[in-house]
Structure 1
Amino acid sequence: MTGTIEYFYTHVSPWAYMGHALFIDLAARHGMTVEFRPVNLGGVFDASGGMPLAKRHPVRQSYRLIELQRWRDKRNLPLTIHPRHFPADPTLADCCALAILKAGGPVADFSDRLFRHLWAQEGDLNDRASLEAIATSLGADGARMLADAESAEIKAAYAANQARAIELGVIGSPCYVLQGEPFWGQDRLDLLSDALESRREAYKPV
């Protein structure tokens, strides 16, 4: 199969972090183009009935912590359960990824580094010096990235990603959309792989 997978994610999502490298590899193995769509989940939750973490029932918050430990071990990734700079506003980091994308830079590697910066190294996604240094280390123009991230064009692209997510029925991060069919969560990567290998038609709501 050849085609496109729309990849909706935000850098404050530990689940997106745990699935990121596996997804990028999966898409490459199947010759798929990835459309990177960093997204603000606020409007997505509002449209789909989801709840931001701080507003979820304590039982659900506790279960999330158990799942993080399970999947950290399953994926064999370094992950701090309570990073020092979480929760955080993801807007700047997400828009930096969009700026890297606009410039034709290594957005997959940049997002990987941002995930690790927050979830493995307890870094601050709103520290401009860190964001610039990460971009520069990947051969991108970090200063230009930061300037572009706050431009009207990038802000419009970020808003458009949210609107697109709502249109496609995305309900959280990460979500991989193949031929209009959403696969929500890094624990659905096996199902996405099955769909790519079988070349079946997309499932639709019935």
Structure 2
Amino acid sequence: MTLSADLYWSFRSPYSYLATRRYVELTEKYDLDINQRFVYPLAIREPDFFERNHPNWLGYTFRDIFRVAQYLGIPMAPPNPDPIVQDIATRKIAEDQPYIFELTRMGQAASRRGRGLQFAHEVSQLIWGGTANWHEGDHLDQAAERAGLDLQELRAEAKAEPEQLDAEIAANQETLEAAGHWGVPTLVYQGEPFFGQDRIEIALWRMQQEGLQER
């Protein structure tokens, strides 16, 4: 019997990136479907989040993500450009955001086609894996192709249906919070949330208790 879980995920979340290849591996090894549920980053939902947080939060997060990447053997570099335009020194979020809305809407369009996890996996490797100017040239086209998708089709849908896609993205956030969490990455299985890239093995253990089998 195929089990199903929901994955709440953001393009700006380094921990989402660090976890994604392991989620993909779960779907390849086990009889498991993961439904990708894209959400907007905290920088969009709560622009003052970074200003309100403890002064050590940002520095520790940067130290930790590169440490985790090194430990797991995952390529990682500061995104160039960052999918969120932000003054890191002041932590202020810019009003003009040229990347994150289209990215997330295209992701949701990919989820409509049942390929959201694959799209997230390929695109996040560009953003966080060291590809400079990932938004230019044919980087995104090739990533979409590797995910079994047509980027121009996704882009056209994102442009034609921004309100509908945003409503689906907002519904994803509401469903995440209804499940008992608010951050990403969070895998939700049968209403139980498993937050963070360090809870994947525990989520697997829980699903194996419920009969998850290898393919």
Compute the TM-score of the two structures, normalised by the length of structure 1.
0.80
Change (3 A) 1:140 1:27: closer
Change (3 A) 1:142 1:44: closer
Assess if the C-alpha contact under 8 Å between 1:92 and 1:125 holds in 2.
Answer: no
The residue aligned with 2:121 is 112
Assess if the C-alpha contact under 8 Å between 1:8 and 1:176 holds in 2.
Answer: yes
RMSD: 2.9
Letter in 1 for 2:196: G
Looking at structure 2, the residues matched to 166 and 44 of structure 1 have their Cα atoms a distance apart, in angstroms, of: 16
Q: CA deviation at 1:99?
A: 1.2
Looking at structure 1, the residues matched to 196 and 107 of structure 2 have their Cα atoms a distance apart, in angstroms, of: 20
Q: CA deviation at 1:144?
A: 1.6
Q: CA deviation at 1:165?
A: 1.6
1:100 aligns with one of 110, 119, 136: 110
1:4-153 to structure 2, matched below 5 A, reads 4-42=4-42, 52-53=49-50, 55-80=52-77, 82-86=78-82, 88=84, 90-104=100-114, 106-123=115-132, 130-136=139-145, 138-150=147-159, 151=161, 152-153=163-164
Change (3 A) 1:137 1:22: closer
Letter in 1 for 2:201: D
Q: Unmatched 5+ residue regions in structure 2?
A: 85-98
Letter in 2 for 1:120: G
- Size of the aligned set, in residue pairs, is 195
Compute the TM-score of the two structures, normalised by the length of structure 2.
0.77
Q: CA deviation at 1:169?
A: 2.1
Q: CA deviation at 1:129?
A: 6.0
Looking at structure 2, the residues matched to 192 and 44 of structure 1 have their Cα atoms a distance apart, in angstroms, of: 28
Q: Unmatched 5+ residue regions in structure 1?
A: 201-206
**Percent sequence identity over aligned pairs:** 22
Q: CA deviation at 1:10?
A: 0.6
Letter in 2 for 1:75: L
Assess if the C-alpha contact under 8 Å between 1:44 and 1:171 holds in 2.
Answer: no
Letter in 2 for 1:19: A
Letter in 1 for 2:177: I
